[in-house]
Amino acid sequence: MASTSRLKDKVKQKEWNIKGKMSLLTLDLSNKYLTQLPEELFELKDIEALDLTGNRNIDLSTELIKLTNLKLLCLHRCNLESVPAVVMKLSHLEALILSNNNKITLPDEMSSLVNLTVLDLNNCNLKSVPFVVMKLQQLKRLMLGYNKNITMPGDMSSLVNLTALDLQNCNLGTLPPVVLQLLNLQELHLGMNQISLPDELYKLENIKVLSLFACNLTTVPPAVLKLTQLEELDLSWNSGIHLPDELCGLMSTNVRVLKLRGTGMVTIPQVVWRLVQLELLDLSCNPVQTLPAEIEYLTNLKHLSLLYCKLHTLPPEMWRLTQLEWLGLSSNPLQTLPSEIGQLTNIKHLDLSGCNLHTLPHEMGRLTQLEWLDLRDNPLQTLPAEIGQLTNMKHLDLTACKLRTLPPEVGRLTQLEWLGLRSNPLQTLPAEIGQLINMKHLDLSDCELHTLPPEMWRLKQLEWLDVSSNPLKTLPAEIARGQLTNIKHLNLTECKLRILPPEMWRLKQLEWLDLRSNPLQTLPAEIGQLSNQSYIDLSHTTLITSAHLKVAVLGEKMAGKTSLMQTLSTDQSTLTEEEDRTHCVEITQWAPDRNITFEVYDFGGYDVYHLPHQFFLTQGALNLLTVNLHEYRCTEQSYTEAVGFWLDTLNARVPGAVVTIVGSKTDLCSGTEIEEKTRDIQERFTQQHNTWQRGIQQQIKELQFERSTYRGADPEEIEQQLERTLTRPLRLTGVYCVSSAEPTSGLDTLKSHMIETANDTKVFPNLRRILPRKWVDFKQELHDLRNRPTVGTDRGYSSSARSSLRSDRGYSSSLSSVGSDRGYGSLSLSSVGSDRGYGSSLLSSVGSDLGYSSSLSSVGSDRGYGSSLSSLITD
Ligand X SMILES: Nc1nc2c(ncn2[C@@H]2O[C@H](COP(=O)(O)OP(=O)(O)OP(=O)(O)O)[C@@H](O)[C@H]2O)c(=O)[nH]1
Residues 6 or more apart whose Cβ sits within 8 Å of residue 837: none
* Binding residues for ligand X, total number by CB under 6 A: 23
Is 740 near Mg ion (CB under 5 A)? no
Using CB under 6 A, pick the residue from 668, 765, 839, 848 that binds ligand X: 668
Q: How far is the CB of 555 from ligand X (least distance, A)?
A: 6
Torsion (CA) 402, 405, 409, 414 in degrees, nearest 10:
70
Q: Shortest Cβ distance from residue 669 to ligand X (Å)?
A: 10
Name which position in 365, 605, 663, 772 contacts ligand X (CB under 6 A): 605
Among 26, 263, 563, 831, binds ligand X (CB under 6 A): 563
Paired sense of beta strands 464-466 and 489-491, if any? parallel
Q: Which residue is nearest to ligand X (CB)?
A: 605
Instruction: Identify what 84 binds: ligand X, Mg ion, none; CB under 5 to 8 Å per kind.
Output: none
Per-residue contact flags (x/-) with Mg ion for residues 576 to 615, judged by CB under 5 A: ------x---------------------------------
How many residues touch Mg ion (CB under 5 A)? 3
Torsion of CA 738, 740, 743, 744, to 10 degrees: 40
Q: What is the DSSP string of 293-356?
A: GGGGG-TT--EEE-TT---S---GGGGG-TT--EEE-TT-------GGGGG-TT--EEE-TTS-
- Helix or strand run (H / E) with residue 758: helix 747-759
Quote the DSSP letter at residue 8. Answer: H
In the list 2, 68, 578, 787, the residue contacting ligand X (rule: CB under 6 A) is 578
Site map 210..249 versus Mg ion, x via CB under 5 A = ----------------------------------------
The C-alpha atoms of residue 746 and residue 737 are separated, in whole angstroms, by 6
Q: Which is nearer to ligand X, 609 or 710 (CB)?
A: 609
684 binds, options ligand X, Mg ion, none, Cβ within 5 to 8 A by partner type: none
Binder to ligand X among 14, 581, 773, 802 (CB under 6 A)?
581
Query: Do 396 and 373 touch, CB atoms closer than 8 A?
Result: yes
Residues 542-561 that bind ligand X (CB under 6 A): 555, 557-561
Our finding on whether 831 is near ligand X (CB under 6 A) is no
Least gap, CB of 562 to ligand X (angstroms): 3
Query: Which of Mg ion, ligand X, none interacts with 563 (beta carbon under 5 to 8 A by kind)?
Result: ligand X
Q: Comparing C-alpha atoms, which of 815, 813, 820 is closest to residue 858?
A: 820
By beta-carbon proximity to ligand X, the closer residue of 234 and 586 is 586
CB of residue 565 to Mg ion, shortest distance in Å = 8
- Given the complex with ligand X, which of 130 and 605 has the nearer CB atom? 605
Name which position in 145, 604, 663, 833 contacts ligand X (CB under 6 A).
604
Residue 635 CB, shortest distance to Mg ion, in Å, is 25
Nearest distance from residue 606's CB to Mg ion, in Å? Answer: 10
Q: Which is nearer to ligand X, 613 or 768 (CB)?
A: 613
Give Cα 804 distance to the centre of its chain.
44
Is residue 674 a contact point for ligand X (CB under 6 A)? no
SS (H, E, C) 724-745: HHHHCCCEEEEEEECECCCCCE
d(CA 796, CA 813): 14
Nearer to ligand X, 563 or 828 (CB): 563
518 touches Mg ion by CB under 5 A: no
- Nearest distance in Å: CB 561, Mg ion: 5
Q: CB under 8 Å to 460, separation ≥6 — which residues? A: 437, 482, 483, 484, 485, 486
DSSP one-letter string for 89-148: G-TT--EEE-TT-TT-B--GGGGG-TT--EEE-TTS--SB--GGGGG-TT--EEE-TT-T
Residue 197 identity (one-letter amino acid): L
Is residue 475 a contact partner of residue 501, using CB atoms and an 8 Å limit?
yes
Q: Is 807 in the site for ligand X (CB under 6 A)?
A: no
Q: Which is nearer to ligand X, 662 or 770 (CB)?
A: 662
Q: How far is the CB of 83 from ligand X (least distance, A)?
A: 33
As a dihedral over the C-alpha atoms of residue 412, residue 418, residue 424, residue 426, rounded to 10 degrees, the angle is: 40
**Which of 422, 340, 408, 342 lies closest to 374, judged by CA?**
422
Given a contact cutoff of 8 angstroms between Cβ atoms, the answer to whether 539 and 518 are in contact is no
Q: Which stretch binds Mg ion (CB under 5 A): 215-223, 575-583, 673-681, 829-837?
A: 575-583
Vertex 15: Cα angle to 66 and 85 (nearest 5): 30
- Shortest CB 660 distance to Mg ion, Å: 18
CB of 102 to ligand X, least distance (A): 27
For residue 20, give the 3-state DSSP assignment: strand
Q: Which of residues 740-769 bind ligand X (CB under 6 A)?
A: 740-741
Name which of Mg ion, ligand X, none residue 578 binds, using a CB cut-off of 5 to 8 Å depending on partner kind.
ligand X
What is the footprint of Mg ion within residues 551-570 (CB under 5 A)?
561-562
Q: With binding defined as CB under 6 A, does residue 582 bind ligand X?
A: yes
114 interacts with, out of Mg ion, ligand X, none, CB within 5 to 8 A per kind = none
- Least CB distance to ligand X at residue 687 (A): 25
**Which of 123, 562, 813, 830 is in the footprint of ligand X by CB under 6 A?**
562
> How far apart are alpha carbons 651 and 287 in whole angstroms?
69
- The residue range among 149-157, 378-386, 643-651, 739-747 that interacts with ligand X, by the rule CB under 6 A, is 739-747
Residues 106-165 close enough to bind ligand X by CB under 6 A? none
Report strand pairing: 141-143 vs 164-166.
parallel
717 binds, among ligand X, Mg ion, none (CB under 5 to 8 A by kind): none
Q: Which of 179, 125, 712 is nearest to 106 (CA)?
A: 125
What residues form DSSP beta bridges with 548? 597
With b for 16 or more beta-carbon neighbours within 10 A and e for fewer, the 191-215 pattern comes to bbbebebeeebbbbebbbbbbbbbb
* Contact flag: residue 664 with ligand X (CB under 6 A): yes
The item of ligand X, Mg ion, none sharing an interface with residue 665, based on CB under 5 to 8 Å by kind, is ligand X
CA dihedral 121, 122, 127, 133 (to 10 degrees): 20
Is residue 613 near ligand X by the rule CB under 6 A? no
755 interacts with, out of Mg ion, ligand X, none, CB within 5 to 8 A per kind: none
Residue nearer to ligand X on the CB measure, 365 or 604: 604
Q: Does position 303 bind ligand X by CB under 6 A?
A: no
Q: Cα(569)–Cα(747) distance, rounded to whole angstroms?
A: 10
Instruction: Identify the DSSP state of 242.
Output: B
Residues in the chain: 875
Q: Which does 739 bind (CB under 5 to 8 A by kind): ligand X, Mg ion, none?
A: ligand X
Cα gap 144→123, rounded to integer Å: 7
Q: Which of 181, 58, 70 minimizes the C-alpha distance to 115? A: 70
Task: Tell me whether residue 544 or residue 674 sits nearer to ligand X (CB atom).
Answer: 674
Residue placing its CB nearer to ligand X in the complex, 119 or 559: 559
Q: How far is the CB of 563 from ligand X (least distance, A)?
A: 3
Site string for ligand X, 358-387 (x = CB under 6 A): ------------------------------
Least distance to ligand X, CB of residue 676, Å: 19
Q: Which does 677 bind (CB under 5 to 8 A by kind): Mg ion, ligand X, none?
A: none
Query: For 564-602, what is the HEC assignment?
Result: HHHHHHHCCCCCCCCCCCCCCEEEEEEEEECCEEEEEEE
Interface residues with ligand X (CB under 6 A) are: 555, 557-563, 575-576, 578, 580-582, 604-605, 664-665, 667-668, 739-741
In the complex, which residues of this chain contact Mg ion (CB under 5 A)? 561-562, 582
